[in-house]
Each structure stands twice: as C-alpha cells, then as structure tokens.
Amino acid sequence: MPMTNPYPTHISDHCEWINAETYSNDQPVMLRIRPDLKKFEGKNAFPEKLVFTWEFGDTKEFAGLPSDEQYDQMRPFEDALVAALEGGRSAIFAYAHTGHGICELHFYITSVDEIKPDLDPLLNHFPGLPLKIESYGDVEWLQYMSLVQRLQ
C-alpha cells in the first residue's frame, strides 16, 4: 500500500482558522491563527520560523490597521506566498498578526535554504514591497503555542 503524504499541497486551504481582535496601546490588533497545528509541533520537520513584516506606514485614520487599498495590495502577495511555500511542502503558514502599522505573516519552515528556490521567484514577481524578512530557530514553536493557549 503506498504511503500518503500527510501534508496537502496547500496546507492552509484544508484547515480551520481563528480570527481574533484585541487591543494594544488603545489600538486594535487583528490575529488570524491556525489552532490545528499540534500534529506538526515537536516533529522537528519545521524547526525554523520565517516572518514577513509588511510595514504599511501611517495609519492613524485606520487606528493602526491597513486601509482597504492596502489590504487589496497585501492579499495577492499573501495568497501567492502561501501557495509558493506550502506548495513546496517546506513551510506551514501558522498565523498573521496585524496592527500598529504592520502586518506579520508567520511561517514555520524546514530551512531557509530549502525554501529559497520557491521564495526568490515570488519576491521578484512582487518588486518594491515594503517587506522585512527574518528567520530564527523555534523548534518548540513557543510563540505559536503561547498564542493558541491564550485563545482557548
């Protein structure tokens, strides 16, 4: 009997999301998180965290959240990013955090070297975006687990 891959082509397409709104410094903060990732946690398959930070600037009019126009710019990039990274089965989109003039997209990845062939063409397709990208080790998924615990 052939083995089936436990990771669908686009993992985020086959999962449940929780949307939450909170406040920080009297401004709204939006959180989208997948509560169902415990099956991946601790397997060391995705030991690194990759964070894309989109700085959308002065948003006093929108209380720190992006305008509709800014959301319209961000959405195609996010969709393409998830498709590219999860499609290569080298990343899992865990959560998004939006507020205080930034949107952060948090992925757990196998390694930067492994996702680079999927990521570089995508970034070339979306030139000039106000992005900062950073990665670091998070084998135990501490930030993710903390967020899930607070939401339950």
Do 85 and 107 contact (CB within 8 A), yes or no?
yes
Supply 152's token pair.
């339950």
The alpha helices in 1-152, defined as continuous H runs, are: 68-87, 112-125, 142-151
Amino acid at 29: V
Q: Could you state, in order of their start, the residue ranges of all structural domains in the chain?
A: 18-151
Amino acid at 85: L
Task: Give me the CATH topology for the region 18-151.
Answer: Alpha-Beta Plaits (3.30.70)
In the three-class reduction of DSSP (H, G, I as helix; E, B as strand; rest coil), residue 108 is classed as strand
> 90 CB contacts (<8 Å, ≥6 apart)?
109, 110, 111, 114, 115, 118
Do 101 and 64 contact (CB within 8 A), yes or no?
yes
Q: Mean pLDDT in each 10-residue stretch from start to end of the chain (152 residues)?
A: 36 70 86 82 80 82 80 91 89 92 94 92 90 93 87 76
Amino acid at 115: I
pTM: predicted TM-score of the whole model, two decimal places? 0.84
